[in-house]
Amino acid sequence: MSVRETDARTAHADGVERLLASYRAVPEASAVRLAKPTSNLFRPRARADAPGLDTAGLTHVIAVDPEARTADVAGMCTYEDLVAATLPYGLTPRVVPQLKTITLGGAVTGLGIESASFRNGMPHESVLELDVLTGAGELVTASPDEHTDLFRAFPNSYGTLGYAVRLRIELEPVQPFVALTHVRFHTLADLVAAMDRIVQTGTYDGERVDYLDGVVFSADESYLCLGMQTAATGPVSDYTRQRIFYRSIQHDDGAIHDRLTIHDYLWRWDTDWFWCSEGFGAQHPLVRPLWPRRYRRSSSYWKLMRLARRYDIADRLERLKRRPPREWVIQDIEVPIGRTVAFLDWFLANVPIEPIWLCPVRMRDDDGWSLYPLRPRETYVNVGFWSTVPVGAAAGETNRRIEQAVGELDGHKSLYSEAFYSREEFDARYGGHAYRAVKDRYDPDGRLLDLYAKAVQRR
């Protein structure tokens, strides 16, 4: 063990002790929550009545084993820091969620997805074992062979069964560059059919595909973005300056090509928060040169959006223009690939939001995951849409209609944003019976919030 690794493990042990001490300091009548400087949740929450848990010592990579292709990582380590630690070895996590400040623990307990998900599943499927601070204040190691019930129920529990303190994850080798092919489609049926073939074969026109996602601009303008790892050197694009990645994929017909370093490919969406930086003026040709480059990142836009929501800035501007307030529609949903065209047709006809992000995913694990209703070895398509629409007659009207449409198509939605399910429907969709059994065992006194209370009741 190197001196650096020894120091990292010592620092981690100190961080764990600080975490446990802060847990013991929370009054028994108060709910236990994390104190974190960043978040990728997009739903309002009630204010905490006690200090959050001290996670300041749990933000680092503990060790990388390049031979075993594994990493031990503290639960609050961001993917930005994790990738920075693994890339020098020519390795990355199997799935790298597209926003830099997503933490590994957050991606596992709250789920994550990216363009490698059609072959590597989701981040929690790459976890070999994890140390969890449970609601009972105990530190347990969960794995496929130990505390298996907690291991299987942890994904999609959003911190209501415990907090990941350390995770050992699988890594995969990567090449230094990614060659990109952006393929234009004029019908959604053709795009989804091509996506399905790529997922099944791992190839497009005889070439290997390592990464796969897509963008829908309208019913007759959509794209698949195909990535192939390569060691071949040559010119690369840079979308951290004036050029905007999602605009670079647009063209009239056929396919166009591009190249990025593997680092820039992993973070291609972060610079402009996909396309949502437009709402802050960061894509305006006169504003963009003045916007400091270090602030062109998702974390900056998230802070601005949080301020805007706190002070109702958007609604105030709408009132000045004598227009009704807006409803936030920030969601990721998944439907079986055979139902994707039906959902997109419905969405485009009923919800005035574009572009729309597409990302296919197949779960690798045949045993399934207690709180996550994707069927193993079946292809689903994640559909992401993030914007606002005019308010309807009832609170959350558009979000409720989306929930209903997704359910009718045998799909479900992620829980990082607002949800409106009844308790009965929520339990049926998100493993309520299994959840309660694990909750009773690892949080018998209810020190952590209940999943329904957190995801739907905004506590």
Q: How does DSSP assign 204-254, residue by residue?
A: ETTEE-SEEEEEEEETTEEEEEEEEEE---------SSS--HHHHT--SSS
pLDDT for position 2: 67
Continuous segment of H or E residues that includes residue 337: none
Rounded CA-CA distance 155/141 in Å is 15
- Using the 8-state DSSP alphabet, how is residue 448 labeled? S
Say how far apart CA 140 and CA 131 lie, in whole Å: 6
By the 8 A CB rule, do 36 and 106 touch?
no
What is the average per-residue pLDDT within 125-144? 96
Partners of 218 in the beta sheet? 221
Give me the pLDDT at residue 158, please: 94
CA distance 336 to 291: 40
**C-beta of residue 155 within 8 angstroms of C-beta of residue 53:** no
Which is more confidently placed, 403 or 365? Answer: 403
Nearest to 114 by CA among 205, 217, 225: 225
Task: Say how many residues make up the chain.
Answer: 459
Please state, in angstroms and rounded to a whole number, the distance separating the CA atoms of residues 300 and 294.
9
Alpha-carbon Rg for the chain, nearest whole angstrom, is 22
pLDDT at 355: 98
**What pLDDT digit, counting tens, does each position of 340-350 carry?**
999 999 999 99
User: Using CB atoms within 10 A of its CB, is residue 137 exposed (0-12), middle (13-18) or buried (19+)?
Assistant: middle
DSSP E strands: which ranges in 262-411?
326-336, 356-362, 379-390
Torsion sign over Cα 191, 369, 109, 410: positive
Judge whether residue 317 has pLDDT over 60.
yes
Residue 223 pLDDT grade (very low, low, confident, very high; cuts 50, 70, 90):
very high
Which pLDDT tens digit goes with each residue over 243-260? Answer: 999 999 999 999 999 999
Q: Is the pLDDT score of 42 beyond 70?
A: no
- CB atoms near residue 297 (< 10 Å): 20
- How distant, in Å, are the alpha carbons of 132, 170, 195, 434, 439 from that of 149? 13, 21, 34, 9, 10
**Cα(389)–Cα(401) distance, rounded to whole angstroms?**
13
Residue 35 has pLDDT above 70, yes or no: no
pLDDT digits (tens, 9 = 90+) for 398-435: 999 999 999 999 999 999 989 999 999 999 999 999 99
Q: Supply the pLDDT for residue 336.
A: 98
Helix (H) or strand (E) holding 52, with range, is none
CA proximity to 239, closest of 265, 214, 213, 257: 265
CA within 13 Å, CB half, 12: 21
Question: Which pLDDT score is estimated for 311?
Answer: 74
Beta strands in 53-190, from DSSP E residues, in sequence order: 53-54, 61-65, 70-74, 91-93, 127-134, 139-142, 162-173, 177-185
DSSP string computed for 387-447: EEEE--SSTTHHHHHHHHHHHHTT-EE-SSB-----HHHHHHHTTHHHHHHHHHHH-TT--
Q: Provide the pairing of β-strand 162-173 with 70-74.
A: antiparallel
What confidence score (pLDDT) does residue 238 get? 96
Residue range 185-192: average pLDDT? Answer: 98
Nearest by Cα to 152 from 114, 125, 120, 119: 125
Q: What is the pLDDT of residue 365?
A: 82
User: Of the candidates 381, 376, 441, 393, which has an alpha carbon nearest to the alpha carbon of residue 149?
Assistant: 441
Mean pLDDT of 137-164: 96
Dump pLDDT digits (tens) for 52-83. Answer: 789 999 999 999 999 999 999 999 999 999 99
What percent of the chain has pLDDT above 90? 80
Provide the whole-model pTM. Answer: 0.94
Instruction: Work out the mean pLDDT of the chain and round it to a whole number.
Output: 92
- Residue 177's pLDDT is what? 98
State residue 376's pLDDT score: 87
